[in-house]
Homo-oligomer: A and B are copies of this chain.
Amino acid sequence: MALLTVLTPVLLLILCMVIGFMLVKPRETKTDTRPWVDDDLQDGDDVLEEDECVDSQGSEEDHPQVPYSLQHYSEETMLQRSKDFYKMLKQRRSVRFISPEMVPRDVIDNVIRTAGTAPSGAHTQPWTFVVVSDADLKHQIRLIVEDEEELNYRQRMGEKWVHDLAKIKTNWVKEYLDVAPYLILIFKQTYGILPNNKKKTHYYNEISVSISCGILLAALQNVGLVTVTSTPLNCGPRLRLLLKRPVNEKLLMLLPVGYPAQDATVPDFGRKPLDEISVYM
């Protein structure tokens, strides 16, 4: 009993420390970094590690300025061009039924060059476009993707699994990964390597690569090709190894590319009208 009495203040102290620790912890984990972020593009989870440094290359101050001009269209022409461009892209849909018909390689080259014109954080251009046309390699990619998709389905569907098997199967089987003449796998370079072997943070790499993907989608539509923008979340590491990409690259998107199949269908979706996606002030 005397021991207990002695212990009480000790226990009180420990309790206070533990509670204090709990209160302090959340503040510590949320380090309020304020890196230089003018027009750089930074991912929400980018944090400078100790062995990384921000390279000053690509910053405005180090480069001479050159004059910039652009064709100034009449208002009438602008309006017509804006309508035509909208009309073209309005036709874009995520298409899963792709024709095996071969597509000229030069066209794919130009589409990727176009994607490479996207802006990026500190002009790091943190993208790698892996274009797969080899039948064996496409099939290996398909096996990896379907393997993970099946896992996704099983875990998501749980008990309904057995009953809905037939319905589900049509979703997890990705025939287009074999059929499409090209698979474009878009990797984001999460960091670069400086000459001194230190890591160079690529701020906003995911946003930058996604912007680049948007431009790529427009370029595909412009030449009459289709794709479906897929993000095979859990396949990234396996596909990275298969395609022998370095550790600083992470798979962001996988796009099967080709002409639409003759009997291609798409779900009967609509899009939100202008007044639902915009506010003018």
Q: A-side interface residues toward B, CB under 8 Å? A: 1, 4-5, 7-9, 11-12, 14-15, 18-19, 22, 34-45, 58, 60-61, 63-73, 75, 78-79, 81-83, 85-86, 89-95, 97, 103-107, 109-114, 116-119, 123, 125, 127-134, 137, 149, 151-153, 155-156, 167, 171-172, 204, 206-207, 210-219, 222-224, 226, 228-234, 243, 252, 259-260, 263-269, 271-272, 274, 277-281
Residues in chain B near residue A71, CB distance under 8 A: 224
Given known A-B contacts A11-B15, A219-B85, A229 and B211 have beta carbons under 8 A apart: yes
Contact B8 A267 (CB under 8 A): no
Complex Cα spacing A93 to B69, Å: 10
Measured CB to CB, the closest approach of chain B to A146, in angstroms, equals: 11
Work out how many copies of this chain go into the complex.
2
Given known A-B contacts A265-B68, A272-B125, A90 and B104 have beta carbons under 8 A apart: no
Complex Cα spacing A222 to B42, Å: 26
Contact B277 A127 (CB under 8 A): yes
Complex Cα spacing A40 to B42, Å: 22
Contact B95 A79 (CB under 8 A): no
Pick the contact of A90 from B34, B92, B117, B149 — CB < 8 Å?
B117
Known A42-B231, A133-B280; further 13 A-B contacts with Cβ < 8 A: A4-B8, A4-B9, A18-B22, A36-B153, A64-B267, A67-B263, A72-B259, A81-B222, A82-B106, A92-B117, A125-B277, A129-B277, A215-B217
Contact A231 B37 (CB under 8 A): yes
